[in-house]
């Protein structure tokens, strides 16, 4: 077993895996002093992956740099992926496909929406072809992707399937690099956070950060706030993807689900349904720092961080919050979930 922390050799190996250069890195690491004061934490920084300079940004671009390079190496002519109609992942994949001159088919659960807005409007504009499973079950997307790939193969095409969220070993590599990127940024400015907080949906992002943090010698603790799956399921997914990624990199290491730190209690009524706590978190961050969060991921993750800031784990600590993007979903629908205005401070967040 190699000690990976500060071993340039390992990061060089990772650097040699084919990767499409879609955006400029590093993304900014910005101090949020007003919010830090309100939350009573020592230091609070946002890692601005929402500002990734391609396809409206967000964490999904990092995984797509590896996935699209692989698709091109395999001479694919179609990218097939899917999720919910307001998916950031599908929008980002549609942009990357267009950029690579590949056709894109997007499978969505449920039925076509009445409004073509937010991410869905962008996805359609980018030329991705949409299919609806007619089934509200999110897993119906996985069968839909497999079925469409089968049809394309029958027609003599070379489809490249990307699972929901890009949650697989190759996609997670992008987030391993993100952890390394943050480490270098912090190192340069002479500080290290105690905690990195991020949103977990499909789990690929946390999986990459978990492995990346481990490879750096655990300079901080990485904790996610689940916005979709129940905590036991998401822990298992994160460990599974992190282990697959470690295996892919020939790293002799296994994560167990119990060791994956996930904060629970902020899903609200369900995935993609804005919650009052998330809306309050969005207002608080917007009004103190002028930064926009989204109702599906980062708003709920911030609601989780606000809660954590009142507990021992985060109280009086230096924290990096991963702003993983998602803003287009803020502009989907009428936004009624934001109407119930309250004068926000962390202490009157109606939990
Ligand atoms: C997809 C997404 C996440 C979560 O990433 P997973 O890898 O699916 O867990 C967080 N924030 C935003 C904005 C996303 O689009």
Domain ranges of the chain: 2-57+168-338, 60-166
State whether the beta carbon of 228 lies less than 6 angstroms from ligand 1. no
- Tell me the per-residue pLDDT of 23-74, one tens digit each, with 9 for 90 and over: 999 999 999 999 999 999 999 999 999 999 999 999 999 999 999 999 999 9
Structure tokens that stand for 42 in this block: 């020592």
The torsion angles phi and psi of 251, rounded to 5 degrees, stand at -100, 130
- Asked, colleague to colleague, whether 2-57+168-338 and 60-166 share their fold, the answer is yes
Half-sphere exposure of 150 (CA within 13 A, CB side): 6
State whether the beta carbon of 201 lies less than 6 angstroms from ligand 1. yes
- Tell me the per-residue pLDDT of 319-348, one tens digit each, with 9 for 90 and over: 999 999 999 999 999 999 998 765 555 544
Distance 6 CA to ligand 1 centre (A): 28
Give the architecture (CATH level 2) of 60-166: 3-Layer(aba) Sandwich (3.40)
- Specify the pLDDT at position 65: 98
Dist. CA 88–CA 282, nearest whole Å = 18
Beta bridge partners of 264: none
How many residues comprise the chain? 351
The torsion angles phi and psi of 243, rounded to 5 degrees, stand at -70, -40
Dist. CA 338–CA 342, nearest whole Å = 10
- Specify the pLDDT at position 259: 93
Dist. CA 130–CA 35, nearest whole Å = 40
The torsion angles phi and psi of 27, rounded to 5 degrees, stand at -80, 155
Helix axes 204-215, 231-248, angle to 10 degrees: 50
Contacts of 290 (CB under 8 A, 6+ apart): none
Distance 173 CA to ligand 1 centre (A): 15
Report how far Cα 206 is from the mean position of its chain's Cα atoms: 8
Distance 1 CA to ligand 1 centre (A): 31
Report the atom number in ligand 1 closest to the C-alpha of 167. Answer: 7
Distance 156 CA to ligand 1 centre (A): 33
Contacts of 302 (CB under 8 A, 6+ apart): 278, 281, 282, 284, 285, 293, 321
Q: From residue 169, give the alpha-carbon distance in Å to each of 95, 104, 181, 307.
A: 21, 21, 19, 31
Low-confidence residues of the chain: pLDDT under 50: 1-3, 347-351
Q: Which of 172, 174, 325, 332 to mutate to test the pocket of ligand 1 (most atoms within 8 A of CB)?
A: 325
Catalytic residues: 87
State whether the beta carbon of 138 lies less than 6 angstroms from ligand 1. no
State whether the beta carbon of 88 lies less than 6 angstroms from ligand 1. yes
- Specify the pLDDT at position 343: 53
Query: Do 221 and 186 form a contact (C-beta atoms < 8 A)?
Result: no
Give the architecture (CATH level 2) of 2-57+168-338: 3-Layer(aba) Sandwich (3.40)
Dist. CA 50–CA 284, nearest whole Å = 18
Q: For residue 214, give the nearest of 186, 256, 185, 171 by alpha carbon.
A: 256
């Amino acid at each position: 077993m190699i000690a990976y922390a500060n071993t340039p050799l390992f990061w060089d190996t990772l650097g040699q895996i084919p990767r499409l250069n879609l955006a400029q890195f590093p993304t900014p690491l910005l101090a949020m002093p007003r919010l830090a004061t309100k939350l009573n934490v020592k230091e609070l920084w946002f890692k601005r992956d929402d500002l990734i300079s391609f396809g409206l940004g967000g964490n999904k671009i990092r995984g797509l740099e590896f996935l699209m390079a692989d698709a091109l190496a395999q001479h694919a002519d179609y990218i097939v992926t899917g999720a919910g109609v307001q998916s950031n992942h599908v929008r980002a994949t549609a942009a990357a496909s267009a950029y690579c001159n590949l056709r894109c088919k997007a499978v969505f659960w449920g039925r076509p929406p009445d409004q073509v807005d937010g991410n869905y409007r962008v996805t359609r504009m980018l030329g991705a072809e949409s299919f609806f499973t007619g089934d509200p079950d999110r897993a119906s997307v996985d069968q839909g992707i497999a079925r469409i790939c089968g049809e394309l193969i029958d027609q003599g095409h070379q489809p490249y399937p990307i699972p929901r969220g890009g949650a697989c070993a190759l996609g997670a590599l992008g987030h391993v690099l993100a952890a390394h990127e943050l480490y270098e940024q912090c190192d340069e400015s002479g500080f290290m956070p105690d905690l990195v907080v991020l949103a977990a949906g499909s789990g690929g992002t946390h999986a990459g950060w978990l492995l990346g943090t481990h490879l750096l010698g655990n300079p901080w603790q990485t904790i996610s706030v689940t916005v979709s799956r129940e905590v036991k399921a998401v822990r298992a997914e994160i460990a599974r993807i992190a282990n697959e990624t470690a295996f892919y990199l020939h790293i002799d290491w296994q994560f167990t689900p119990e060791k994956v730190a996930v904060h629970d209690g902020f899903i609200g009524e369900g995935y993609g349904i804005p919650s009052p706590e998330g809306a309050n978190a969005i207002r608080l961050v917007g009004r103190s720092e002028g930064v926009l969060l989204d109702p599906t991921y980062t708003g709920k993750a911030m609601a989780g961080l606000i809660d954590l800031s009142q507990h021992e784990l985060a109280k009086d600590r230096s924290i990096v919050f991963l702003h993983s993007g998602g803003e287009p979903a803020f502009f989907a629908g009428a936004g009624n979930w934001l109407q119930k205005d309250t004068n926000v401070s962390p202490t009157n967040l109606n939990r």
